[in-house]
Structure 1
Amino acid sequence: MDTQDVLNCVFSAWYPKFKDITIKSHILPLPKEFLDYLQADGVVLPEQSVTASGKHDEDDIEGEELDVDWDAADSSETEMPSFPEFESLMKKIIKTLGGSVFPKLNWSAPRDATWISFDKTLRCTCPSDVYLLLKSSEFITHDLTQPFLHCKDCHNRNNITVQYELILRKWQNLASGMEFRCFVRNGKLIAICQRNHTEHYEFISMMKEEIVSDIKAFFYHMVAGKFPSKNYVFDVYRRDKGKLLLIDFNPFGPVTDGLLFTWDELEGLKGERQENDQTQESTAVETSGETSKDQDLVFRFVEQPEGVQPHPYSCFGIPEDIKDLTSGEDPYKMMDLLNLKIQRMGEDQEHSSDEGD
């Protein structure tokens, strides 16, 4: 994976060419002050979004006593940032796209931050929803700080200037079992994987030949030869038989989640015919009617309910201290917890002794 392969996957680099087969989206260049805000420590929402979200109709507050002095409460807090023009543009775009959008930056969406949203999705109806997700996401931080981390020519990354952008995509209620990740190497489709690999969908096993056939046809007719890199990953959504929707492009390398594949496996797949020696959760699907250059590819999915795995993003909603304690990565925190427990036990015993007297 080279830096150019990563740059080819920037949303604004591929969207104009594939906009007719993907979700309608708007691209907003990020002003410097907003970029600085995203990289700053802490989660403080901009002033306009807080003011707007704090407004209520008189009917909503009838019978309630609101005696909080908000000015006094805010006086000791960090100064709120302000992006009036940028926020106004966001509101217009959200309205244009039907009132609900899916946010992302150049490469990543804040999927690891869904734990903080009201409905546990990336659906945003106002700028404050977007701010909260972006500021709470480690994926977004990765985009901003080290997008070329796994590149072979990463020594040249200091010479690359990235124009960061906010992408607002029209919200779609997609059935998670119908989204698939596809791996392309040397211009050939070598592997397909169930995108939501933490669930078992019985219909995938029953429709596997049709799914593979549709994805191969979509790839060779709509994608192959049009994307500039030879090695890449793309996600598709199968709405119905023969009807697919392009979701995104990603680099072919460890920066992209291999899901039910390891990257050692994917690096070893070159499109040659392979024996069906995969584990129980995978299957190699043969397709007919292709020329000799279109060799068999590997289609991997969860075949049995026993193959279901924990959701990979569930750990992001757990405080760092708790994760350190449960994993044993920070022994000093464990010692502090034990000392605190011993101290409380001593206080309880002293209190019981006093009551007995």
Structure 2
Amino acid sequence: MTFLLWTVVWFLGASIVAVVALVVLRVTTDRRAARLQQEHAVVREVVLSFVMGEDDEVERARDRIVGMRGGEWDRTESQIFSLLPKVRGETRERLVAVVRERGAAQRARQLVRSRSAVIRCRGAHRLGALRDPGDGPVLATLLDDRQFLVRRVALRALGSIGDPTRVPAVLSCADEPAMTRDVVSALQRMGIEASPELRRQLETALRTDHDHDRVAEVAAIALGLIGDTVAVPLLVQALAARDGAVRVAAATALGAIGSQVAVPALVEQLDSDDDRLREVAARALGEIGDVRAAAALSRALMASPRLAARAIAAALLRLGEAGRAELRAHTSPYAGEALAVDALRSAAR
């Protein structure tokens, strides 16, 4: 009986201690969270004053930022780097100047050499945010990192920097399917200055003419998104590539560029055995909007499968009255469907 009584007392005592410990932990955690929230609020106010304040407020905030140390500076630096992708112009220049003055670039270069993949990502992201072309070689080496996430962040950072001399490094990631969107986005952000190297890469790939060439495919897509009219003859040549994906990419790019020079070559693709190429060529012709393509699109409508036929009918609509006349005279059910959809859209306007 005495043993049982002491056991109950022990369990009651242990329960009370556990409850007290949990209460203390909860109170301590809440106080820590409130303190961190207050510290971040102070930092956010200083950074916003530096970014959006009047001249005297900006100067005071800058002096405060320059004088920060320890954890306060770490929080401020993180806040600034989170803002950099969202701001432009003078505001961005002001923020970059202050973090550079505090040695952010050197710290970021140290971070990319860390054993931790998360820290390497942070360093690559910060180098991209600072947009110094001199950091291109450092980021290019990270494209061979063993961790996929590090490679992706480094690729996006190269796109942010926008240095066209890094086109070959970016294209080296084209064979990794999961990186395709990031590769194209990085090349597009490099802009028209990247076009000469993209044309050179595409021309080289077309001479080699492999069965499947991701470099040629991605280069063609990027040239279209950039809108490089000089690339039109080369993209027309790419319509005859052995690789079907390259042909589709070239047709897509020609539609995006919108050059009427490409119309005859795109019309030829309407007779292709590749249904996907026929569909994309039809869309490209619709985007270009040259009425010379109306008759060819009409002929291709009946012989095409469902997806290609709908793309052809939609392209005819985009040609205006000439295209509508062809659709009204056509017996294809997809011609009637396109006209009905067009009528509904017109009524809804």
TM-score by length of 1: 0.25
When you count strand as a share of all residues, which structure comes out higher? 1
Greater relative CO (CA pairs within 8 A, separation 6+): 1
Question: Which of the pair is proportionally richer in helix?
Answer: 2
